[in-house]
Amino acid sequence: MAAAMHQPMSAEGRPAGPERLSPGRRLYVALQYALPQHALSGLMFRLTRLRLGPLTGLAIRVFAQLFRVDLREAAEPAPRAYASFNAFFTRALREDARPMAAAPDALLSPVDGTVSQAGRVDDERLIQAKGRGYGLGELLGGDEDLTLAFRNGSFATLYLSPRDYHRIHMPVDGRLRRMIHVPGRLFSVNPTTVAGVPRLFARNERVICLFETAFGPVAVILVGAIFVGSIETAWAGRITPPRGHRISNAEYGDEGPVLARGAELGRFNMGSTVILLIPSDSVRWSPDLAPEATVHCRSRIGTITAAC
């Protein structure tokens, strides 16, 4: 975990610079600056909702083979059962496919995915990738109170690839207090782009869900990406599209819905990223929660250490 919790150092003891990308990977990243990211994502939103009968089933079979999707885990494993590609992409799993960690002090993974980074927030700075960091305040849309709440706290950044299950679940019991939609860019969130685009998670569109829990506030941040045609939550439905230009802030207070740990919180269309923020001294990450590690939804990724 030390590598994820501290700035990487060079052999000479100086902070390591950003990862050097190959020419091909640099070109791939550079092209994303020029692409009409929102227009392409809007097109994907429409295409994935087309009902094309046998063609939809064929597209799903090809996708499942290409990305090695295990359809045996799905509540409905037959490709022909899905009316649209989006219905398949946001598919439910069998009830026994993701058993929930039973220990009451277990912090659960909200998603299936891969660990990008995890560790401590260094004052107000998070690690994005080797040699790259970004500010807590800018991630939280400039909200000073939230920034103070998670200063020197803990974070985990979890990447969902196209093959993964794309519903998001609660890591702990909590009451929704606020939901903040921060408009932004839609860079890809795959490892190459994360290594190549400075401050990516503070630049991309995101939905910040703030929950009050037995040990303080917990933020579950749903980060958009190119071709993520929609971000939805269990209480408000579809948040994007439409895509605005100003930060919107919904206050729920004591009237916010209470969600049990393991319950569905929201869902993505296509691959994206979830960032967890936990207050200082409230959680101890599991030793195997290291970059590139695989995590499964509702499995233990940490131990709650604060009094509940």
The answer to whether residue 169 is catalytic is yes
Nearest to 240 by CA among 306, 186, 173, 197: 186
Using CA atoms, how far apart are residues 233 and 207, in angstroms rounded to an integer?
Answer: 9
Which of 41, 112, 166, 282 does the annotation list as catalytic? Answer: 112
Contacts of 54 (CB under 8 A, 6+ apart): 80
Per DSSP (E only), the strands in 12-109 are 106-108
The dihedral of CA 77, 98, 159, 49: what is its sign? positive
Please report where in the chains the tokens 């679940």 appear, as a residue: 169
Q: Provide the pairing of β-strand 258-259 with 248-251.
A: unpaired
Cβ-count burial 258-274 (b if 16+ within 10 Å, e if not): ebebbebbbbbbbbbbb
Which of 116, 154, 230, 272 does the annotation list as catalytic? Answer: 272
Which of 169, 173, 181, 282 does the annotation list as catalytic? Answer: 169
What is the set of active-site residues?
A: 112, 169, 272
